[in-house]
Structure 1
Amino acid sequence: MPLETLKARIDALPTPSTRVQRAVAIAVVVTQALIAVTGSVVRVTGSGLGCSTWPQCQPGSLVPVSHPEFAALNQWIEFGNRLLTGVVGIVAFAAFALAYLARPRRARYLRLALAMPVGVVVQAVLGGLTVRFDLLWWTVAVHFLVSAVMVWLAVMLVDAVDPEPAATERVRVPSALPGLLTGSVVVLVGLLVAGTMVTGAGPHAGDPETPRLAIPVETLAHVHAAFLFVYLGMLLAAGVLLRVGGSDRALWRRYGALVAVVVAQGALGFVQFWTGVPELLVSLHVLGAMAVVAATSALWCATRDRAAVAAPAQPVPA
């Protein structure tokens, strides 16, 4: 079939409903976060090299097989994570297809939707390189950080499903808030990077033979905690701006959700440190990290991506 004919037939398909587009976009957020969590399960169970090669599981076999050096459970845990990547890819492609069919076609929405399947391909390649490099800590760190970026973009995709509101409908925000949030995002990046370094020096390498980052875990944990305290301080400052600026309830809800997940994530991190980094808490901490990224992105979207109207600072009523 000629490409022109195929394109014409695709363009003739009906426009999907906004509800369907939003549901699939939310599914992208969930699956992108879930693949990071299952990756942590692979790591804490020592299954990172359960499949010794990539894209095959074992040489000559795409699926797990009986092997004297690799336990069946470890193989299936790693293979299950690879299968989930396929699910993530299907959902990501569905989001792009819906964005392409949406009318009128919007460039920003389409770019964000296209980033989803492209990101899955990039992550699949990074996962293969992680295996090829025998789970070196920095390859695992890059793999995780790209997942964080994908979750951020997926939340932006959800926000982009709806067309831009009219100027009279845009959320009013204090004029200083976007700049403060930009700084907080920089601190969040440092927080995530420090967290990957703590993991790189910690006990859960994904395989007993994998070399660890040669820096004391305690030192890295204190650096990680310092970033957390700075981030919390900036969130408190953002709350003051919201209070003074008289922002609406929608913005307050996003801010409240962000503060809640950051506090919960920080508490979980301290419990991890005090209890010797148990496996279950590691995976919960990864889930919390994805929640913090998603909540930060949601607040960012409310103040930036929807072209929010700057509200002048107002004095607090006596």
Structure 2
Amino acid sequence: MPEVRYSPLRPLALASLVANVALVVTGAAVRLTGSGLGCPTWPRCTDQSYTTTAEMGVHGVIEFGNRMLTFVLGLLAVACVLAALLERTRRRSRVLLAVAVLLGIPMQGVVGGITVLTDLNPWVVGIHFLLSMVLIAFAYALWKRTAEGDARPEYLVPRPIRQLVWILSAASAAVIAMGVIVTGSGPHAGDEDAKRNGLDPATVSQAHADVVFLLIGLTIALVLALKAVKAPLPTVRAAVVLLVVELAQGLIGFVQYFTHLPVLLVGAHMLGAALVWTSTLAVKWSLRERPESAPSPTPLEPAPAPAEEPIPAPR
């Protein structure tokens, strides 16, 4: 494994990743407590105030607290960009990833504002959630790049297994997208007057479950393939962790469906979606190593010219 050199960017990138996952959880709390319109307008919380008021009660506090987390994400993203720019050996990929996360934060805020202005349109709410998944991917990539060098990637498994992981990643993204559609058809809209997407919950839930079974099957195949080619232990471990997270998420999904979607289980399921996605990213990154670039060979100094013999003086 390549040697991990300490950089202040690394803990900042990890904090950014954790905060983006936390935003998914707080967003779930907003929706599941019916606080989606706790602040009924945007960018202000009311027509006269940027902050919540006592008359708005607990719903206003929950919605306003979720908005404030966006500023925390923004500060962390700015800190990551500065740390990437100030590194002794500035790496272009780290700077670009940090900038991508930074640009995604205000975009996420704008989409969140549109959800409020459209009275929690379920399709806009879904885009808001999917954008969080994109930000998590960029933040995870930034965090992993802080532990890598600049040499070309060295892949640890054969090409067919890498192709299998690409298919698995697409299935993981499809599971999350289908979960968004299921959510848009269900009862937890964020406000009692918010519209639903009009799809039959039983039908879209069955389609979602089918894609989940596909994902679990692909993950089992990946674990067996990695063991067959004697892949490095960290790679096998990442695949096993993904399988465990998927099984736990699937169990929560089935229990919440047959118990009529209790709030706590739905919240756990949304956190599980972020963990499934993060675990999928972990599998992809475990397939390679990227060591430090080999130092350029130092040119040899020319050998000193031999001293000339003195010419004897004539007698």
* Unpaired segments ≥5 residues, structure 1: 1-16, 308-318
Q: Specify whether residues 220 and 304 from structure 1 end up closer, same or farther in structure 2 by C-alpha distance, changes over 3 A only.
A: farther
CA distance in 1, matches of 2:118, 2:289: 38
Q: Would you say 1:229 and 2:213 are equivalent positions?
A: yes
Q: 1:80 aligns with which of 53, 65, 72?
A: 65
Match of 2:88 among 103, 114, 127: 103
How is 1:86-125 mapped onto 2 (pairs within 5 angstroms)? 86-125=71-110
How many residues are treated as equivalent by the alignment? 287
Larger deviation, residues 249-258 vs 142-151? 249-258
TM-score between both structures, scaled by the size of structure 1:
0.86
- 2:22 is aligned to 34
- 1:127 and 2:112 correspond: yes
Q: Say whether 1:269 aligns with 2:238.
A: no
**Stretch of structure 1 that moved more, 44-53 or 240-249:** 240-249
Structure 1 CA distance, aligned partners of 2:16 and 2:29?
A: 20
Q: How far apart are 1:165 and its partner, in Å?
A: 7.0
Residue by residue, what CA displacement relative to the aligned partner does 1:150-172 show, whole Å, maximum 9, x if unpaired? 111211111100233767x9462
Q: Say what the alpha-carbon RMSD is for the aligned residues.
A: 1.7
**Aligned pair in 2 of structure 1 residues 244, 165: CA closer, same or farther (>3 Å)?**
farther
Question: 1:304 & 1:292 partners in 2: Cα distance?
Answer: 20
Tell me whether 135-144 or 88-97 shows the greater mean CA deviation: 88-97
Letter in 2 for 1:201: S
Can you list the C-alpha shifts for 1:139-186, whole angstroms capped at 9, x where unaligned?
11000001011111211111100233767x946213211111111121
Q: Is the 8 A contact 1:258 1:295 kept in 2?
A: yes
Any residues of structure 2 matched to 1:208-227 within 5 Å, and which? 208-227=192-211
Contact 2:148-2:290 at 8 Å conserved across structures: no
Greater Cα radius of gyration, structure 1 or 2: 2
Compute the displacement of 1:306 (Å): 4.2
* Residues 39-74 of structure 1 deviation map (CA, whole Å, 9 limit, x = unaligned): 01000100000101111101110111244xxx4100
Higher helix content, 1 or 2: 1
Rounded Cα–Cα distance in structure 2 between residues aligned with 1:242 and 1:119: 35
Q: What CA deviation, in whole Å up to 9, does each residue of 1:12-60 have, x standing for no partner?
A: xxxxx72532211111110001001100100010000010111110111
Query: Runs of 5+ in structure 2 lacking a partner?
Result: 292-315
Cα distance 1:306–1:204, how it changes in 2: closer, same or farther (>3 A)?
farther
Q: Report the Cα offset of residue 303 of structure 1.
A: 2.0
With normalisation by structure 2, the TM-score equals 0.87
Structure 1 vs Structure 2: percent identity of aligned residues? 37
Structure 1 residue aligned with 2:166: 182
The amino acid that maps onto 1:91 is: L
Which shows bigger deviation, 171-180 or 262-271?
171-180
Deviates further, 76-85 or 176-185:
176-185
Cα distance in 1 between the residues matched to 2:159 and 2:147: 24
Please show how residues 113-262 of structure 1 align to structure 2 within 5 Å. 113-164=98-149, 170=154, 172-262=156-246
Which structure 1 residue ranges, 4+ long, deviate > 4 Å from structure 2?
304-307
- Gap change, CA 1:305 and 1:141, over 3 Å in 2: farther
- 1:62 is matched with 50
Distance 2:119 2:105 in 1: 21
Could you tell me whether the CA contact under 8 Å between 1:201 and 1:213 is conserved in 2?
Answer: yes
Per-residue Cα deviation, 1:127-147 (whole angstroms, up to 9, x for no partner): 011111110000110000010
* Corresponding residue number in structure 1 for 2:39: 51
